[in-house]
Structures are given as C-alpha cells and as structure tokens.
Amino acid sequence: MQAVLGIIGGSGLYNIPGFENARWERIESPWGEPSDDVCIGEIDGLKVVFLPRHGRGHVHSPSEINYRANIDVLKRAGVTDLISVSACGSLKEEYAPGTFVLVDQFIDRTFAREKSFFGTGCVAHVSVADPVSPLLVDVVEGACQEEGLTYSRGGTYLAMEGPQFSSKAESHLYRSWGCDVIGMTNMPEAKLAREAEISYSTVAMVTDYDSWHADHGNVDINAIIKVLHENVESAQKLVLAVARKLPREHQQCPIGSNTALDFAIMTAEDKRDPELLAKLDAVAGRVLKK
C-alpha cells in the first residue's frame, strides 16, 4: 500500500513551500459536514492531505468539530499516516512555550462529542491502550532532530472539553495526575483514527503554562496567538521533513493500528443495521466486505 500523509492542523500549515500541485477538494461524508474541504498535493513525490481542524478562518470551536466526519474524509482520501499538529498548554515546568511534545498517551475528559463510528446496529470495541503509532513517531522525531526543533518524545495529553481554559484547581489536578500537556482537540480524534485503522501521531505545540504556573499568571490569549505565529514556520519545516522521511510504502503498525478492526466487531452479521453499515463503508470496509 502506498503511503499517504494526512495532516490535521492550523491554517498556516497548508501554505508550505514545496507543497506542489495543491488543490482544495470537497469530500462528502455520511457522518455530516467535516471542518472544511481538504487540500491535496504532493511533497517530494508523496501525496499529502491537509485538513484545517477548525476550518479556514477558525470557525469551529473544539466542542463543535465533527471529528467523525473529519476522520472519515481523510480515510476516503486514502490517508494511511495521520499527524495531528495541535496547540496546547504545558503542565510541566520543562515544557516551555515553543516546545513540541510528541505525546504517546491521552486522558479523555471531553463529554459533549460523538466518540465512535460504531453503535446500535453494529457494535465494535477497539483497543487504544497505545493510541499513537511508534513507527510514525520515529519519523516525526527524526524530522524534529533534522530541523533542530526543541522537542520531547513521550508524555500524556489531557483532553478537556473547553472552550474555556482551565481553572487553577483543574490545572493543579491534572498536574497531580502526571499529565504533561493539555488541549481541547485530540480526543476523540485519536480514538476515531484507530477505529478507521489509520496510524496516528500528535505533535503538541506548547503555547503557554495553562493556569497553574505562579510566575506566568492566567492564560493570555494574546500571548498564545503570538507563540502560535512563531510556531507556524517550525511546524511547516517539520511537515516538510516528515514528508521527506516517511517511507513511500506504508509500514504496518507494530501495535496494530492498521488491523484494529480484525476482531473488534461484536454484532452478528444478521443483526447488523444496513444503514449504519453503509455509513461505515470507508472506515470499516476492509473487514465488513469479508
């Protein structure tokens, strides 16, 4: 299978020097409206598909994003390896603004979002014990090293509902749990990518110290935007380097990202809802067509 690199991130990422033959394309999803059209092009001969998570112009709040439609359209575009580039707050002193954290675990504290493609009429359970693909993280880490970016490999991302930032009590609670960064967008995104059998990795770009740090005060949106703009060039360099380094033949994920549905579907064939099965054609077609 040929590798196709997917990128979910902010609007600055698709204006990348070297992103060739780029075109915006509307992909319909049975799960509703995705955040935006996808931008499809090539970097160094590799097909790359970019989706603005909040839509161009940042029109969708984290809780209003249609995460199912987003992952579904990326699957329909052929994405095999997906990198989420996300702004986040730091819960650790050592992760200063500007640091890229390659997280490997998540705690999902969201509550207002659809979190699965499956349900009544076709029940399935996939493992997200290891939610990111180590081979893809290897490529991202190599790209960070090549570009001289400040990064740390490993860490736990606390996904909160938002759109407000944390209270000080919440921020201290999440620190007591051993969390490293906090954001609003990577769940249920990571879970849905696993259900869609897409290798997934997160690059969490630190913009602030959340609200716990006595020397930095409350979250300042103006300061966050300033750091975000400063991070855009680094993120663009990272995406270019990842595209150069990613093997052109997709590598099977050693933790089973690409075979997550092999034994996941529990509903007997004669009890499955045809309407739901039709919606699952892209996400689960590999196993449902057997």
Query: Residue 89 maps to which CATH number?
Result: 3.40.50.1580
Domain that holds residue 121: 85-288
Please report whether residue 20 resides in a domain.
no
In this prediction, the residues of the chain whose per-residue pLDDT falls under 70 are: 11-12, 216-221, 223-224
- How far apart CA 48 and CA 80 sit, in angstroms, is 10
Q: What is the number of domains present in the chain?
A: 1
pLDDT at 167: 93
The reply, when asked if residue 208 is annotated as ligand binding, is: yes
Q: What's the pLDDT at 17?
A: 83
Residue that is written with structure tokens 């075979």 in the block: 259
Q: pTM here?
A: 0.95
**281 annotated as ligand-binding:** no
Query: What is the structure's pLDDT at 216?
Result: 62
- 184 labeled part of a ligand binding site: yes
Q: Tell whether 11 is covered by a domain.
A: no
Instruction: Tell me whether the omega of the peptide bond preceding residue 62 falls within 30 degrees of 0, making it cis.
Output: no
Annotated catalytic, 210? Answer: yes
Alpha helices for the chain (secondary structure H): 67-76, 134-147, 168-176, 189-195, 221-245, 274-279, 285-288
Q: Which of 36, 208, 220, 273 is catalytic?
A: 208
Whether 192 is covered by a domain: the verdict is: yes
Number of residues that this document lists for the chain: 290
Count, in order, helices (H) and strands (E) of the chain.
Answer: 7, 11
Q: Identify the residue whose tokens are 């995460």.
A: 67
